[in-house]
Every structure is written in structure tokens, then in C-alpha cells.
Chain A
Amino acid sequence: MLSLAVFLPIVCGLAMFACRGMTHRARQVLTEGVTLVTSLLVLFCLMNKRGVAYTPLYLLPKLPISFCIDGVGSVFAAIVAFLWPLATLYGFEYMEHEGGENHFFALYTMTYGVTLGIATAANVLTLYLFYEFLTLCTLPLVMHGTSKASVRAGYTYMMYSFFGAALAFVGVMLIIGFGDGGAFVMGGVMSEAAAEHPLMVQIGYLCAFLGFGVKAAVFPFHVWLPEASVAPTPVTALLHAVAVVKSGVFAIIRVTYFSFGAQVMRGTTAQAIALLLASATIVYGSTMAVKEHHFKRRLAYSTVSNLSYILLAACLMTQSGLTAALAHMLFHALIKITLFFCAGAVMVKTERTQIEDLRGLAKVMPFTCATYTIGAISLMGTPLLPGFVSKWLIGSAAIETGTTLGMIGVAALLISAVLTAIYLMGPAMSMYFRPLEGMEPTAKCDPGMRMKLPFAVLAAAIVLCGLFSDPIITLLAKLSAGVM
């Protein structure tokens, strides 16, 4: 059942390549239908098939490709399953303006399956396999449009991704070699290896961290992410705010807690380097976002920064750190996709891409701007909304460790919070309080229902997560408890 969920979208996506003559309508219905069915399958597996491993094939006698839904994986799978149908719906209206929909939606759907593969991978080899496929599937999506900028963005993305893959390969091989097959086990599989070859284990961790960290936009390997903002917004929103980057973060979480083991890595130099890089990225991303004038690029830098919030929490290697990381993974995905959707709606309806041109937009796109504002104040860390809770958890987890690195992390967090307020609220204030230019105030151009529905659902989800954060956090804490 689980592999059905993973492979159904892949197969259907491939099939779509073959059916070129479909009408718009038919294609949209098919795509959304497949996506919804898959999400339901995932939901079913989440509820009934926890902890059941399934091995469809062996790569080599000792190297299986297997799937399993466990606690941490279910969080990622749930995020993806919830957001994909919404993003597909949003994409329909958006891509009508861009064209090339057949292979776009084929690849889009395939990517869904691949991401699920990452979420449900039961050992590090399976994870790596689907990770590579993710790069291959998303590369044409980034280059969609084949303009010079798109091609360059695609090339950058490809080079960085394969660089990351090469590094990650080293880490993966070390895990498999030292860790007896590399299956994901709570607490890691490297305890004996760490005693005998401590240096090798640390190098392996760093290789894995930096390798997977390329997709997680760790400084200095983050360059591809702002470049990729030239892709159509459904791609940047879902893939580069949720699927691709969260895969990177998820892979690092898996490798840290389930392959190397938190107990093993805590206190090592490798952990120190990881924490420092995460802290540096947090500040760097926010700073670049403040300076950026292009709306989507600003949001892309914001993603760079926020991903390292998650990494900072994860690399603390404590239970509260993991809970905080999962919380922010969940909340940031929700919020960032909303923000990107709004940016996309603005771009598609008004063709405005620069922050300066957003003045007074609230008069003609009230729904969009309201949704943007909810997302913005949430990511800023306003209490009663989810961003506050996850930042709180990260900060307190960092201080709990009592180490200098934890303090540095908190400092980075707070500096970034101020910068976040500036770069997110700036556009919001512009939208509402500055005069509208170049357009009639009566020409209402909010997007159609297919875009508005995802907005509404996401905004409601954000607010609900804020109000009901307690049960969510309790659940996440329970999931991370077993991992230590």
C-alpha cells in the first residue's frame, strides 16, 4: 500500500508524457485526481500502517530499497500530502498563463511520488536514491520557460545538486560501510564505529550534512535557491519552499538522529561546525532578504534563513531540539507556501515583481494581501500564530544545552527575527498604507477561485495551528521522544 502511494504519482506522471492530446480540463482533472488519491493513500498509511516496512527490491544482496512510515517520516509525509493538492490546484490557473502544461504537470506529479519516497525511506540508500531522482525531476521544472535566466538557474541548480549528491554519497557510503547496512534506527547505527574510527565518523557526518545541506540551502551552498526563483511560482512555492528544501532538511534530520545518532555526535567538532554554519546561514539569509528588491527572491532568501532555523534545532541533538525542528518544518512549510502563492498571484495578475511596485495593492487585491499579511506576521513570530511557537521552541532548546554554541544560535535567531520583521512587514505596510500607482483602484484583480481556495485553506490552517499549537507540539514531542 505504501509503495502504491509512492509509485502511483510517478507512474501517472510518466503516463502523462505520453498523452499529449489531452484538453486542458481533462488534464487538470486527471492531475488533481491523482494527487488527491495519493494524499488519501498517504493518510490511510499514516493511520494504519505505522512501522510496517516494505522492501520491493534489492539493489545488491545486502542493500535493499525499502519503505516504512515511522514517527518522524509521518510528519514530512503529512506536510507533503496536505500541501500538494492545494499547490496543484493553484498551479492550474497560474500555468494557463505560462504554457507548456503537459510536461509541467507530468513532472510535477512525478515529483510528488519521489518526495513521498524520501519521506518514507527506511534506509539511507533509499533516501539517497529518491533524493537524486528529486533533482532529476525538478530540474526541468526549474528550467521551464527555457529563457536564458531559466537555463542558467537550471544549470546552477544542477551543479550544486550534484555537488551535494557527490558529498552526500561519501557520507552515505560511510554510513552503510560502518553502520551495517544503513537502515534508519532510532539512536543511530554508528555507536561502535564511533569508538573505533572517531575521525572517520565525524568526517562522514560533515560530508552528509554538507551534501544534503546543499538542498537545505546551507551557506555557502545556498546560491541555487534565489536563482531558482525565476521558475514559475508553483515550482518555487511547492518545490523550493516545501518539497525540495524540506527534503534536504529532512535528510539531515534522518542522518543525524537515525544513522549517526544524537548521543554519538553530541559534543563533537562536527556538530560544532554544523551549528556554526546553521547560525551563519540564519543571519546571512535574513540580511540578504532585507537588501533584496525582487519579491520572490526576497522570499527565497527568507527560506534560506528559515531552513537553518530547522537545522540549528536539529543539530542541537536533543529531544527538545528535534521537536523544535519538526515544529518549524511544519509551520514554515505552511507559511512559506502561502507567501509564495501570494507573490505568484501578484505576479500573474499585475506583472509586478519588485517590492517597490507593491504599493497600495491592497485596494485591488484585498484577498491576496490579507493572506500575505497573515503569513507575514506569522513568520515574524507574532504570538498566537504558529511562527512564535516554533521559534520559542528552538530558542529554549538552544539555551537548554547550556553551551556557547547554543547561545550563538539564540543570538542569530533574535537578530534574524528583527530582520524578518523588517523584510516581511515592509511589503505588508506598503500594500496597505501607500498610494496605488499605475492602476485604477476599482480594477479589482484578485485571482480566481482556483487560487483563492488554496489561499483560504492555508490561511485558516495557519491560524488554527496557532490556536491549537498545544496538541500539535505534544504530538511532535511524543514522536521525538522515541528517538533518543
Chain B
Amino acid sequence: MQFVQNFPFFCILLTLMGAVASSVMNSRMARRTTLFLILADLAMNVSVMIYTLQTGDSYAYKMGHFPAPWGNEIRVGVLETVSLTVFLLVILFAFLGGMRKSEKEIEPTKYNIYCILTDLVMLSLIALVYTNDMFTAFVFIEINTLAAAGLVMMRQGGRALVAGVRYMMMNLLGSSLFLIGCVILYTITGHLLMVNIRESVAALAATGQYHVPLTVVVSLISVGLAMKCALFPFDKWLPAAYSNSTPTGSAMLSSIVSKGYIFLLIKVYVRVIGFDVIRSLGICDVLFIFGAIGMVAGSVNATRAKTTRMMVAYSSVAQIGYIFAALGLGSEMGVMCALWHTLAHSATKSMLFISAHTLDHASGDTHLRKDLRGAFYRSPLAAAAFTLGAVNLVGVPLLSVFITKVTMAQAAIQIGGRHTVIALCALAISTLLNAKYFLGTTMQMYIPDHEHPERNAKVKINFYAALGLIGFIALNLTLSFFAQGIFGALLDGLARFA
């Protein structure tokens, strides 16, 4: 057993300790701790990733000395490590990008709480990615929910609080459904470790006796997680929650919080229940339909949004729709598409939020879309980042989201019939709508404000914000240009995920 194989465990432990320790630190120390934690986790994770890529190994790691089925286990493989690397980079750049702004918006006495919440979200993500145990998953889902709620309400304005309350209600409902599903699963199979549950489920499915309970389990887990991810029709809470948070907060919410749940869902499907069982239960079609509707509905609402942040938030609803629609196709290609889009969207959406906040700030602290006219001249870097993100989400080839669209289309065509038609139609319509609101806004940025020429002067950008944005641009471009390699690695990892 190599030393590097311990790193995932160290990550979790370190982050947990760091989060606890931050409760007694002042704001500066807390911030530095958080940064340190992010960087440390990143470094450790990259090492594990290199290890898993080189050896192709996918190993289980016992935490503590109790063997299964009483002890706790995490599972480390290529898929997990690569995904987590991307997520950690996103967290890093999001934190950097929103650092100065957050300082201004949050009360200094509460700043360390903010850092703790960030740490906890990061912790939950790492845990959800690595966990091999259903109950542990639930624990960290709860931690994630509570920490994220804090992030939503951090700004303490009226709107933020209302958004936070709605957020809590929907998310707790989702968590509860997940818990009930977990419990029923435990009752039927008698296991909490994922691999063991899989064997039991396979045996049960073969006998055909527990068809109804299995369906109920899968439905509860799926719906529960879907609620937390804001799949249509459970998306009403999302836009307000995302747009009323701090820059880092909205970036984290959209790109990290929901991604943890999605990753867990995929894990449940592939590792816990097994995809053939899922398919035979017919859940896929439901996910597919709602995903497709979400793709369109989210975009329609985004077109009508007045502020930039609402627009980006509604766009998230649409993008979640993509992921679920891909998942709902029920083939390996579909899962790959969902995974890829999880990563791509995570990188892009956070970049969009950070750049949107920067642009709003440079345009006189406005929120409105139409005030972004000429924003390029005020803040070229942020505008460039926003353009890249917008162009990416529209689906221009050579960028990461294009891969998603191609994979989804190909998967849908392979299935044939109604799926093909619905998927292709949804792709076409959502692309067009994306173009309308994203590119429409982007175009405005490049047109100088003729009526108020003084607004075209360049505004100085904060160093950390610039750093964050450059990092995001680099991340997105890497994902785009090295897509083939990364996709190949993910495909590899998926094979060994089960």
C-alpha cells in the first residue's frame, strides 16, 4: 500500500479539523486557513490522481480498523480523482475570485463563519465523491445542505433570507426522501456499504420478488437528489438562492453543491443498484422527460430575466436538465455525457458567476442586464471570461459543452425512436435560446455606450479577482482542448467505478 493512497483520508480529516479550528480564528486567519486547506487538498488529490492514472487502480480504503459491514470505507479511482481535481480547482478560483468582494459584503465578525461554511462544503464534496457507504453519504448530504444554506443567507439582506428559507425547505424535503429511501434499502438488503448492497440488489432483482420496494427506493433516492439539484419541476428555489449570494457563494452553490449530489446519484445508479436494474425499473424515462423539459423551460425563463445573475441562475436550471436528460438516456454514453457535463458546467458556471459579479461591480454596482453595455471597455478580463463562458454554454465546437451536446446527441440516436426526436429537439431549442440570452448580453458588452461616454473608461480590477478569472479561463480552455484525453480517462474510470 503506497503512502499516497492515504491522501484521500488525509484530505477529509484535514479539512474537517481546519473547519473546526476556524471557528476560533479571526477573519484573516480563517481566510488563510481556508486557502491553505484548498491548496493542500488540491495538492494531495493531484498526487492521488497521478497515482490512479498511472496504475489504473481503483481501491477501497478502510477508515478506522473495523472491517465491513460495520466500518466505514471510501473508494478511490480514476473517475473520482479526476473529477475532484476539477472541482477543487473550481473552488480555488471561485474563492480567489470572490475574495475581496466577500470581504466587503459580509460583516467582519461573521467572516470566519463564512470560511467555515466554505470548508464544510468542500469537505462534503470530497466525502460524497469518495464515499462507499450509504449512511456516510447521507451525513455529508446534510452537512452540505446546512453549509450551503449558510452560504445562501450570508449576505443577510431580506431577499437572501427569504431565498435561504425556501432553499432549506426544498432541500430538507429532498434529504428526507433520500433518507427514507436509504432506510428501505437497508431493510431490504441489510447492508450499508455500496458494493455489498449491489450484490444483494442483483440477487433480489433476479428473483423478481422485491420489484415494488426497489422501484420505491430508486424513486425516492432519485427524487430526493433531484430536488436538491433543482431539476424541473423542483427548481423554483434556485434562481433566488443563487443570485442573492456573494460571488464565491453563488459560484460554489451552482458548481459544487449540486455537483456533489449528482455525483452521488450516479454513484448510486452505477455502484449501488446497477444500471441494468435501473433501466428495467423504468425510472430513466421519467428523468429523461423532466430533464428535456428543464432544458427548455430553464432557458425560456432565462430569456426573461432582468438581472444578469438571475439569467445565469436560470441557465443553471437548464444545464441541470441536460445532465438529467443524459442520465435518463440510460446508456453508458449517457452516463459519460452526464459526468462530462458535470465537470464542464461546474467550471463554466462558476466562471460566469464570478465574471458577472465583477462586471456588475465595474458597471456601477448594478444588477441589470442592460447596464452591461460597454462593459468590455470597463473590465476587459471579466468580459473575456464571460464571453468564453457564454460561448461555451451555447455549444460552440472545440469548447467543453460542445462535447456534451455531441455525446448526448449520439447517445440519443443510438437509442433511436422517440428519444432521438425529443433529445434533438430539446438540444436545438435550448441552443437557440441560449444564444439569444447569453450572446445577446455578451454582444452588448462590446458596444461602447455612446450616450454616456464617460462610462467607457476602464475600471481597475481587484488582483485576486483577476487571478481567479485567469485561473477559470485556463481551466475551461484546458477542459476544452484536452477533452479527448480527459474524456478517455473518465471513460476508463467509469468502467472501474462499479
B448 interfacial contact with A, CB 8 Å: yes
Residues of the A chain whose Cβ atoms lie less than 8 Å from the Cβ of B416: 197
Segment of B73-81, B352-360, B483-491 engaged in the interface with chain A: B483-491
Give the chain B neighbours of A128 by CB distance below 8 A.
397
Q: Are A177 and B410 CB-contacts (below 8 A) given A125-B397, A155-B440, A170-B424?
A: yes
Quick check: is A200 within 8 A (CB to CB) of the other chain? yes
Report if A163 contacts B (CB, 8 A). Answer: yes
**Chain A: CB-nearest residue to B450:** A146
From B407, B413, B428, B448, contact of A169 by CB (8 A): B428
**A159 and B435 within 8 A (CB):** yes
Min Cβ gap B242→A in Å is 25
Name the contact of A166 in the complex, choosing from B429, B443, B448, B487 (C-beta under 8 A).
B429
B196 CB to nearest chain A CB (Å):
34
Interface flag for A461 (CB, 8 Å):
no
- Cα–Cα, bound, A151→B442 (Å): 12
Which listed residue, B395, B431, B484, touches A57 by the CB 8 Å rule?
A: B484
Could you tell me if A59 and B428 are in contact, using CB atoms closer than 8 angstroms? no
Query: Which among B406, B432, B446, B488 is the interface contact of A173 at CB below 8 angstroms?
Result: B406
Closest CB of chain A to B371's CB: distance in Å?
16
**A59 and B488 alpha carbons, distance in the complex (Å):** 11
Q: In the complex the two chains form, what is the Cα distance from A167 to B409 in whole Å?
A: 13
Would B397 and A173 count as touching, CB distance under 8 A? no
Contact check, B431 vs A60: say whether CB atoms are below 8 A apart.
Answer: no
Tell yes or no: B184 within 8 A of A by CB.
no
Are A163 and B432 within 8 A (Cβ)?
Answer: yes
A384 at interface by CB-CB < 8 Å:
no
Does the CB pair A59–B443 fall under 8 Å?
Answer: no
Contact A162 B443 (CB under 8 A): no
A167 to B424, CA, bound (A): 9
- Is A98 located at the chain interface by the 8 A CB criterion? no
In contact, B410 and A162 (Cβ under 8 angstroms): no
- In the complex, which residues of chain B have a beta carbon less than 8 angstroms from the beta carbon of A163? 432, 435
The answer to whether A59 and B447 have CB atoms under 8 Å apart is no
Q: Does A475 contact B (CB under 8 A)?
A: no
The dominant DSSP class at the B interface is helix
Check if B236 is an interface residue, CB within 8 A of chain A: no
Contacts known (A60-B406, A166-B427, A170-B428); A151 close to B394, Cβ less than 8 A:
no
B396, A132: Cβ atoms closer than 8 Å: yes
Are B420's CB and A176's CB within 8 A? no
- Report the minimal beta-carbon distance from A322 to chain B, rounded to whole angstroms: 27
Complex contacts, A159 vs chain B, CB 8 Å = 435-436
The A158-195 residues at the B interface (CB cut-off 8 A) are 158-159, 162-163, 165-167, 169-170, 173-174, 176-178
Q: Which residue of chain B has the shortest Cβ distance to A150 in the bound complex?
A: B447
Whether a CB of chain A sits under 8 angstroms from the CB of B25 is no
Q: How far is the CA of A61 from the CA of B488 in the complex (A)?
A: 8
Query: Cβ of A432 < 8 Å from any Cβ of B?
Result: no
A129 to B403, CA, bound (A): 12
Binary interface profile of B, 467-482, with partner A (CB < 8 Å = 1, else 0)?
Answer: 0000000000000000
Q: Quick one: closest A residue to B487, CB to CB?
A: A60
B439 close to A177 (CB less than 8 A): no
CB distance from A310 to the nearest CB of B (A): 26
Q: Which of A58, A61, A170, A178 has the most CB of B within 10 A?
A: A170
Query: Is B252 interfacial (CB 8 A cutoff)?
Result: no
Inter-chain contact A158/B439, CB cutoff 8 Å:
yes
Q: Assess whether A176 is in contact with B410, with CB atoms less than 8 Å apart.
A: yes
- For A119-139 the 0/1 string (1 means CB < 8 A from B) is 000000100110011001001
Q: Of the candidates A60, A151, A170, which one forms a contact with B447 in the assembled complex, judged by CB atoms under 8 Å apart?
A: A151
A143 within 8 A of B: yes
Which of A136, A139, A177 is in CB contact (< 8 Å) with B414?
A177
Interface centre among A163, A173, A176 (most CB of B within 10 A): A173
Residues facing B in A267-322 (CB within 8 A) are: none
Q: Are B428 and A154 in contact (CB under 8 A)?
A: no
Contact in complex: B405, A169 (CB < 8 Å): yes
Question: Within the assembled complex, what's the spacing in Å between the Cα atoms of A158 and B432?
Answer: 10
B113 interface residue per 8 A CB criterion:
no
Residue B391 is within 8 A (CB to CB) of chain A in the complex: yes
B398 on the A face (CB < 8 A): yes
Residues 190-224 of chain B, each 1 if its beta carbon lies under 8 Å from chain A, else 0: 00000000000000000000000000000000000
8 contacts between A and B (CB under 8 A): A57-B484, A146-B450, A158-B439, A163-B432, A163-B435, A169-B428, A169-B431, A178-B413
Which residues of A approach B to under 8 Å, CB–CB?
57-61, 63, 125, 128-129, 132-133, 136, 139-140, 143, 146, 151, 154-155, 158-159, 162-163, 165-167, 169-170, 173-174, 176-178, 197, 200
Knowing that A60-B406, A143-B447, A166-B435 are A-B contacts, what are 8 other residue pairs whose CB atoms are under 8 Å apart, sorted by A's residue number?
A: A151-B447, A162-B394, A165-B435, A169-B395, A170-B428, A176-B406, A176-B410, A177-B409
Residues of chain B touching chain A, judged by Cβ–Cβ distance below 8 Å, are 391, 394-398, 402-403, 405-407, 409-410, 413-414, 416, 420, 424, 427-429, 431-432, 435-436, 439-440, 443, 446-448, 450, 483-484, 487-488
